[in-house]
Amino acid sequence: MTGLEQRLVALGSALDVPETPNLAPAVLARIGARPARRTRGVVLAFAVVVVASLLAALAIPDARSALARFLHIGGARIELVDRLPAVPTTPPELELTLGQRVTLDEARAQSSFPLLELDERPDAVYVGERGTIWFLYGTRDAVRLLVAQTPRVAIDEPFVLKKLVQAGTTVEPATVRGKPAYFLIGEPHVVLLLDENGLTYEESARLAQDVLVWEEDGRTVRLEGDLTRAEALDIARSLR
Partner 1 sequence: MEDRPPTDAALAERARQGDERAFEELVRMHSGIAFRTAYLLTGSAADAEDAAQAGFVKAWGALGRFRKGAEFRPWLLRIVANEAHNRRRSAQRRDSLALRAAVADVSGDAVPSPEAAALDQDSRRMLLGAVNRLDERDRDVLACRYFLDLSERETAEVLGVRHGTVKSRTARALERLRAEVEE
Smallest distance from partner 1 to CB 76, Å: 34
Q: Which lies closer to partner 1 via its Cβ, residue 18 or residue 75?
A: 18
Residue 165's identity, in one-letter code, is V
Q: Which lies closer to partner 1 via its Cβ, residue 11 or residue 86?
A: 11
For residue 177, give every residue at least 6 positions away whose Cβ sits within 8 Å of its Cβ, in sequence order, or none. Answer: 216, 237
Smallest distance from partner 1 to CB 106, Å: 15
Q: Which lies closer to partner 1 via its Cβ, residue 43 or residue 104?
A: 43
By the 10 Å C-beta count (0-12 exposed, 13-18 middle, 19+ buried), 173 is classed as exposed
Q: Which lies closer to partner 1 via its Cβ, residue 42 or residue 68?
A: 42
Contacts 24+ apart (CB under 8 A), 166-175: 166/49, 167/49, 167/50, 167/51, 168/50, 169/49, 169/50, 172/229, 174/212, 174/214, 174/229, 174/233
List contacts with partner 1 (CB under 8 A).
Answer: 2, 4-18, 20-24, 26-28, 30-31, 33-38, 42-43, 51, 53-54, 56-58, 88, 96, 129-131, 194-195, 197-202
Distance (Å, rounded) from C-alpha 45 to C-alpha 43?
Answer: 6
Distances (CA, A) of 233 to 1, 92, 109, 199, 218: 53, 29, 27, 29, 19
Q: Which lies closer to partner 1 via its Cβ, residue 100 or residue 170?
A: 100
Distance (Å, rounded) from C-alpha 88 to C-alpha 12?
Answer: 32
Smallest distance from partner 1 to CB 170, Å: 23
Smallest distance from partner 1 to CB 235, Å: 28
Smallest distance from partner 1 to CB 31, Å: 5
Q: Which lies closer to partner 1 via its Cβ, residue 25 or residue 168?
A: 25
Distance (Å, rounded) from C-alpha 50 to C-alpha 187?
Answer: 7
Smallest distance from partner 1 to CB 127, Å: 10
